[in-house]
């Protein structure tokens, strides 16, 4: 079903009129209520009056994760904190997380776009959904939860982990929809088989998988293991969380909701738009958000876009699966990891130097493992095993706390980390996807 036919199937000219109206209002709103944006506009010599249509969006400044970090925690908010009803955080590039907030209307918007997404995947009111995205500060769990309730699903708020319990619940309540990271779906299927449970047995119809990159090969494996249609959902907490774009059963790109999240695809170096179908960085403007609306937010995700109408009837543009990143962020178990976070931790520990390498690996149908190699220097070194082990544990504890994932720490000899043209290669991704 199409959850909001009016907007999802709107004629392009009418959609453009809506987007233009919303952008005008947004420009005035952030200019008046957010000093960071006022300064950004002023330095480019743009005023809200210069924005007459959605095409004028090119006149507006970009927003980056650096802006979020530099203005942590509340600098990018346009709403008063007393009107903020919920906050979430995701990974930051250094010590501080990235904070986002929602007014009551923002939460309604989140429910709406997530309801659109679940319906787009093929959910019908009355279906039962096992939501195995993590609940808590991570936006995945609650975003899907709100959308499920909005569209009239029976939601099992499972959260991530506790695999045996997940399997018991799904055997007992026979959900039709599974939501989690694609690697966790494969892991659960593997665990089920080990326990003598056939994951295909059940009432499965669709899976809504996201929060990490995955391939068509993984899709095939998930569909075969669970006997369900596996669809891709895209989102990021800076924009709203999950519910920014979603595949329909035609699996021909992810439908955006451009009446509320306006997408542009740009050349990451020049900032200029690229042609339809060409790869570029996805940039999103939240046209109607209140608490922390973002103008031309650089997602750093590389996609291509297609403006043609889909066989499902939706007119809103479709983006491809994520093809890469324009920064060095990696996604591990659905969590965004920036190498700079690890550097920040090492610089904060006495004696350590920021010479490190991150190795990410995933055995077939298992969960991601992170190992951080840290070069030992004579300041950190001790002739006593217990002192070195103490240091290793301290590094492990701090890195695991900052990344929210348990990392294995291995101390290595200096210069063992390959330096290419003076610059160390920070991430080695060995994952087979």
User: In 10 A of CB 414, how many CB atoms?
Assistant: 12
CA distances from 97 to 69, 71, 85, 100, 203 (A): 8, 12, 19, 10, 39
Give the span between the Cα atoms of 87 and 220, in whole angstroms. 36
Give the span between the Cα atoms of 318 and 321, in whole angstroms. 10
Give the span between the Cα atoms of 205 and 425, in whole angstroms. 42
How many residues touch other proteins under the rule CB under 8 A: the total is: 18
Instruction: Return the residues of window 55-74 that contact other proteins according to CB under 8 A.
Output: none
Instruction: Return the residues of window 289-328 that contact other proteins according to CB under 8 A.
Output: none
With CB under 8 A as the contact rule, the residue among 415, 420, 422, 423 that binds other proteins is 415
Give the span between the Cα atoms of 163 and 153, in whole angstroms. 22
CB of 90 to other proteins, least distance (A): 31
Which window, 98-106, 218-226, 241-249, 383-391, contacts other proteins (CB under 8 A)? 383-391
Residue 384 near other proteins by CB under 8 A: yes
Which window, 81-89, 171-179, 344-352, 374-382, contacts other proteins (CB under 8 A)? 374-382
Which window, 46-54, 286-294, 327-335, 409-417, contacts other proteins (CB under 8 A)? 409-417
With CB under 8 A as the contact rule, the residue among 376, 391, 395, 407 that binds other proteins is 376
CB of 388 to other proteins, least distance (A): 7
CA distances from 225 to 7, 186, 201, 229 (A): 35, 8, 10, 11
Give the span between the Cα atoms of 142 and 136, in whole angstroms. 7
Residue 383 near other proteins by CB under 8 A: yes
Which window, 45-53, 169-177, 303-311, 404-412, contacts other proteins (CB under 8 A)? 404-412
CB of 373 to other proteins, least distance (A): 10
- Cα pseudo-dihedral 185, 187, 192, 196, rounded to 10: 140
CB of 382 to other proteins, least distance (A): 7
CA 96 centroid distance within chain: 17
Closer to other proteins at the Cβ: 82 or 415?
Answer: 415
With CB under 8 A as the contact rule, the residue among 273, 381, 397, 431 that binds other proteins is 381
CB of 309 to other proteins, least distance (A): 57
Residue 416 near other proteins by CB under 8 A: yes
CB of 295 to other proteins, least distance (A): 47
Residue 414 near other proteins by CB under 8 A: yes
The helix/strand/coil state of 94 is coil
Q: Of 209, 238, 396, 421, which Cα lies nearest the Cα of 329?
A: 238
Residue 172 near other proteins by CB under 8 A: no
CA angle 244, 245, 248 (to 5 degrees): 150
Which window, 9-17, 33-41, 66-74, 375-383, contacts other proteins (CB under 8 A)? 375-383
CB of 408 to other proteins, least distance (A): 9
Answer for the pair 341, 402: CB distance below 8 angstroms, yes or no. yes
Closer to other proteins at the Cβ: 363 or 377?
Answer: 377
Q: Of 115, 128, 152, which Cα lies nearest the Cα of 5?
A: 115
Give the span between the Cα atoms of 117 and 240, in whole angstroms. 13
Q: Which residues contact 420 (CB under 8 A, 6 or more apart)?
A: none
CA 16 centroid distance within chain: 27
Which window, 226-234, 249-257, 263-271, 384-392, contacts other proteins (CB under 8 A)? 384-392
Closer to other proteins at the Cβ: 306 or 388?
Answer: 388
With CB under 8 A as the contact rule, the residue among 306, 412, 417, 427 that binds other proteins is 412
Containing H/E element for 52?
Answer: none
CB of 351 to other proteins, least distance (A): 12
Which window, 107-115, 164-172, 331-339, 410-418, contacts other proteins (CB under 8 A)? 410-418
Q: Of 356, 355, 353, which Cα lies nearest the Cα of 407?
A: 356
Give the span between the Cα atoms of 354 and 375, in whole angstroms. 8
CB of 384 to other proteins, least distance (A): 6
Residue 378 near other proteins by CB under 8 A: yes
Binding site residues, other proteins, CB under 8 A: 376-378, 381-385, 388-389, 392, 410-416
């Amino acid at each position: 079903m199409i959850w909001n036919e009016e907007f999802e199937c709107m004629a392009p000219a009418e959609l453009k009129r809506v987007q233009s109206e919303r952008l005008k209002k947004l420009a005035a709103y952030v200019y008046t209520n957010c000093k960071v944006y006022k300064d950004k506009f002023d330095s480019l010599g743009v005023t809200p009056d210069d924005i007459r249509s959605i095409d004028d969006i090119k006149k507006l400044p970009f927003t980056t994760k650096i802006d979020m970090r530099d203005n942590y925690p509340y600098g990018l908010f346009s709403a008063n904190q007393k009107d903020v009803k919920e906050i979430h955080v995701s990974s930051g590039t250094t010590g501080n997380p990235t904070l986002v907030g929602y007014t009551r209307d923002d939460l309604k918007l989140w429910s709406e776009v997530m309801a659109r997404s679940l319906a787009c995947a093929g959910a019908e009111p009355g279906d039962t959904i096992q939501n195995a995205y993590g609940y808590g500060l991570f936006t995945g769990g609650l975003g899907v939860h709100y959308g499920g309730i909005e569209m009239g699903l029976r939601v099992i708020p499972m959260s991530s982990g506790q695999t045996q319990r997940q399997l018991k619940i799904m055997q007992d309540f026979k959900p039709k929809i599974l939501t989690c990271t694609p690697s966790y779906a494969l892991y659960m299927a593997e665990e089920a088989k080990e326990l003598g449970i056939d994951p295909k047995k059940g009432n499965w119809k669709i899976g809504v998988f996201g929060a990490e990159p995955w391939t068509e090969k993984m899709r095939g494996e998930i569909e075969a293991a669970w006997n369900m249609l596996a669809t891709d959902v895209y989102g990021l907490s800076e924009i709203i969380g999950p519910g920014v774009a979603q595949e329909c059963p035609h699996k021909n790109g992810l439908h955006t909701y451009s009446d509320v999240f306006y997408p542009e695809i740009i050349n990451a170096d020049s900032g200029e738009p690229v042609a339809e179908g060409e790869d570029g960085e996805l940039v999103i403007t939240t046209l109607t958000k209140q608490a922390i609306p973002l103008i031309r937010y650089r997602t750093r995700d590389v996609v291509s876009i297609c403006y043609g109408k889909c066989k499902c009837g939706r007119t809103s543009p479709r983006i491809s699966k994520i093809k890469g990143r324009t920064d060095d962020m990696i996604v591990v178990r659905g969590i965004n990891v920036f190498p700079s976070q690890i550097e920040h931790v090492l610089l904060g520990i006495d004696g350590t130097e920021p010479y490190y390498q991150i190795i990410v690996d995933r055995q077939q149908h298992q969960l991601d493992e992170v190992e951080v190699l840290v070069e030992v220097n004579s300041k950190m070194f001790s002739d006593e095993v217990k002192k070195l082990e103490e240091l290793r544990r301290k590094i492990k504890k701090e890195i695991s706390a900052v990344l929210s994932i348990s990392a294995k720490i291995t101390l290595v000899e200096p210069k063992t980390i390959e330096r290419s043209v003076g610059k160390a290669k920070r991430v080695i991704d060995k994952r087979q996807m």
